[in-house]
Amino acid sequence: MAFATLDELSNGRSMLGIGVLWEPMATMMGIVRKNVLKAMREHVEALHALFDMKTVNVDGEFVNLRNVHLLSKPISIPIYIGATGFHMMRLAGEIADGVLLNYLVSPTYNKQALEFVAKGADKVGRKLTDIDTPQLVACSIDEDADKALDAARRVVTEYLFLEPHIMKASGIKSDVLETIHKTLGSWPPRPDKLQEALTLVDDELVRSICAAGTAEDCKQKVREYVAAGCTCPLICPISGSVEKMIDAFSTGY
């Protein structure tokens, strides 16, 4: 109902994004994370049916609806799945209108992930080009490239601890992840432990998963993501001036 209302107010410009959260964040928020692929399928299929003006009856593990329907047909509400793991990518290709690719991953990861999106699409007679694939891109920009890298390094280090699933998907070596976890110990980390952990994250690792550096460095990295299948880069400022990012990308990339 909320998205149908947004769709009407925006004259068909609403877009519904849905994800299943991750560990350890889910546990920290008191959410039990189980059978995530089934949970996603049940929700997306029910939403599609509702948006198609069907009367929906579902007796699922996660979705239970009794004679539910909307009173007026939405103009257009595409459903995007926020996915990182390859099984979820394949499901997105099968049942969603688009998949929102994560940030702090590498362009190489994109190519692997989209192979699974294509497999899901093929299962139902679609092509990869039928699935929209926008992507979050972590960006740290400064005239001084080293300053931008140092600022991004802090965020990357924190995510190595908080969202190891992203880092594993991006090909970060397990021994690096384990060392970071042992060094930080717990969240939030002690300042001295965070400083120690920062020394474990080199420039190459930061550059591999971030658009970090000068304006041209950042634009070049975005071009790499686009070349690897991103249909629309969504620039996420992780440090630096937002105004400078807008200026840098306002003329394209």
Q: What pLDDT, in 10s, does the model give residues 180-223?
A: 888 988 878 888 999 999 998 999 999 999 999 999 999 999 99
- Say what the pLDDT of residue 29 is: 86
- Say what the pLDDT of residue 158 is: 87
- Give the residue ranges of DSSP H helices in 52-202: 86-95, 107-123, 145-162, 164-169, 174-184, 191-198
**Cα distance between residue 248 and residue 212, in whole Å:** 13
57 or 251, greater pLDDT: 57
**Cα distance between residue 238 and residue 212, in whole Å:** 9
Q: Domains (ranges, CATH) in the chain? A: 2-136 (3.20.20.30), 138-229+238-249 (no CATH)
Token look-up 């658009």 returns 211
Query: Is the Cβ–Cβ distance between 151 and 142 less than 8 Å?
Result: yes
Q: Across the chain, where does the E strand assignment appear?
A: 16-18, 56-59, 64-68, 79-83, 98-101, 134-141, 211-213, 232-239
Q: Which of 179, 149, 150 is nearest to 167 (CA)?
A: 179
Q: What pLDDT, in 10s, does the model give residues 158-183?
A: 888 877 777 777 777 788 888 988 89
The answer, yes or no, to whether the previous bond of 24 is cis (omega within 30 of 0) is yes
**Cα distance between residue 170 and residue 161, in whole Å:** 14
pTM, two decimal places: 0.90
Q: What pLDDT, in 10s, does the model give residues 28-71?
A: 888 888 999 999 999 999 999 999 999 999 999 999 999 999 99
Token look-up 């929906």 returns 56
pLDDT band at 75 (very low <50, low <70, confident <90, very high): very high
Amino acid (1-letter code) at residue 44: V
The CA-based dihedral angle spanning residues 117, 52, 2, 72, taken in that order and rounded to the nearest 10 degrees:
160
The CA-based dihedral angle spanning residues 43, 47, 49, 50, taken in that order and rounded to the nearest 10 degrees:
130
Amino acid (1-letter code) at residue 171: G
